[in-house]
Structure 1
Amino acid sequence: MDTSKRLEPALSMADRVYAVLHESIMSGEFPVGYRLRIRDLAALVGTSEMPVREAIRRLEEAGFAERVPHRGSVVKGLDLAELVHAYDVRLLLEVEATRLGAERIDSAAITRMRDGLVRMRQAIAEGEVMDYLDRDEAVLGVLYEASGNPVLVNTVRSLWGQCRAYKTVGARSALDKPGDDALWRHQERLVEAVEAGDADAAAAVTRESLASATDRIKAQLREQKK
């Protein structure tokens, strides 16, 4: 793992290590269940063990890692039941973030959404799953930031991180289906509603998208319980 481009000199060492580990988890480089061995990570990022220990503690507090008996800290993934709860909360928050953002967004931000949608479609065409997810979240981030509520935006971003592993699997599955528009259909409709100044329509698109994802998770959960 190349860490040289990730370490920001203005941050504390613990902040820098946290940023590296968090990015590795989000990108899938450290998959669910990956053991966060303090000594190995310290050697990897070139620090002492103390900032690594602090970074792992923060990852546990943020829900990205958990302590497992006889294994230490490992990368955490949500089970299906937890995912249902996470998506229920996402629906509540993101519908409101969409409505507020659509009511307050300016033309420059709408242009950024449209440009981001183009880059997202390019990532789909190239089969770049992680880039697609980043672009997708960037498009939504522009809209949600227009709400003017940074606490709302940060909470949503935290939920995105917790759902990332599931989103990655879903995106890869969709990419394997030629002609499937599931990866961009809702985003296109969302941008169109925002461009039209229709906050209610935009909120409805977000509600439909997240409700559909929740239904898929619930179906998987029912199959798992059989």
Structure 2
Amino acid sequence: MTLPKLETAARVGDQAFDALHAAISNGDYPAGRRLQIRNVAHELGISVMPVREAIKRLEEMGLVETQPYRGAVVKDFTPTELLHIYAVRRVLEVEAAAQGTKNLTREDFQHLDDLYAGLRRAVEDNQVIDYLDQDEMVLTTVYSAAGNPVLIEMIRTLWGRCRHYKIVGARDELDLGNAVHLLEHQERLIQAVKLGDSAAAARITAESIDAASARIRQALPRNR
């Protein structure tokens, strides 16, 4: 994957960060890929300084790490590290689902229905990245209604850290013909929030994250 040339403008470092973050999030830059500063700068058509700044920000987010003799690489999380991420996600997202359910409006319900339709289309078209984007928008709609922007920021940061695993997991489900598994939790969550059932929304969220954690325990060790 070749990065697009950037327009010369103010805050080139932000543009470099956005370009690299997008490449990591959509799987074009997989875990373990080296981020050679001069090569990245050449691809983007900018100097090395904004690239250094962008890589430093990605490292602070936990998406990039510096390795001996290799320099900056896209971070590849071990199964244990992923399980730690999912454990924290469970705490935060269960709370966000419970609190958000109390404040959703009819307009939010319509938006969730539209997003779920997009989820189904993405699954039918085997578009994994579109599916994950729609999935995160469904959850963001529910969680944001909790009214705590710090909570949402922390959750989204954790999503970014486990994005590679989520891509692999969704692709595996599609390859195995288990598309229904990619939709069942979202459908149940939307039904629960429409009923204003905070306890059910929290339970469904916990079940979804627990299922992902179980898949990590079963699948990742075999692949390493």
- Bin the TM-score by the shorter chain: over 0.9
Secondary structure of the 1:181 match is: helix
What is the identity, as a one-letter code, of the residue corresponding to 1:52? V
State the partner residue of 2:188: 189
1:48 corresponding residue in structure 2: 47
Amino acid at match of 1:213: A
Counterpart for residue 4 of structure 2? 3
Indicate the percent of aligned positions where both proteins have the same amino acid.
44
Q: Which runs of 5+ in 1 are unaligned?
A: none
Which residue is equivalent to 2:64? 65
Q: Kindly state the Cα deviation for residue 2 of structure 1 after the two structures are TM-superposed.
A: 5.6
Whole-Å Cα distance in 2 between the matches of residues 84 and 214 of structure 1? Answer: 6
- The Cα shift of 1:78 comes to 1.1
Preserved contact between residue 100 and residue 143 of structure 2 (Cα < 8 Å) = yes
Superposed CA offset, 1:104-139 (max 9, x none): 111111211111010010000000011100010011
8 Å CA contact 1:80–1:220 kept in 2: the answer is no
What is the alpha-carbon distance in structure 2 between the residues aligned to residue 8 and residue 102 of structure 1? 44
Answer whether contact 1:117 1:139 (CA < 8 A) is retained. yes
How many residue pairs were aligned? 223
1:130 lines up with 2:163 in the alignment: no
Alignment pair present for 1:204 and 2:199:
no
Q: Secondary structure at the match of 2:152?
A: helix
User: What TM-score, normalized to structure 1?
Assistant: 0.93
Query: How far did 1:158 drift?
Result: 0.6
Residue pairs, 1:47-196, within 5 angstroms: 47-178=46-177, 180-196=179-195
- d(CA) in 2 for partners of 1:51 and 1:217? 36
When normalised by structure 2's length, the TM-score is 0.94
- Is it true that 1:29 corresponds to 2:12 in the alignment? no
Cα deviation for residue 88 of structure 1 reads 0.4
Alpha-carbon offset, residue 221 of structure 1: 5.8
Once superposed, what is the RMSD of the aligned Cα atoms? 1.9
In structure 2, do the counterparts of structure 1 residues 89 and 8 end up closer, same or farther at CA, with 3 Å as the change threshold?
A: farther
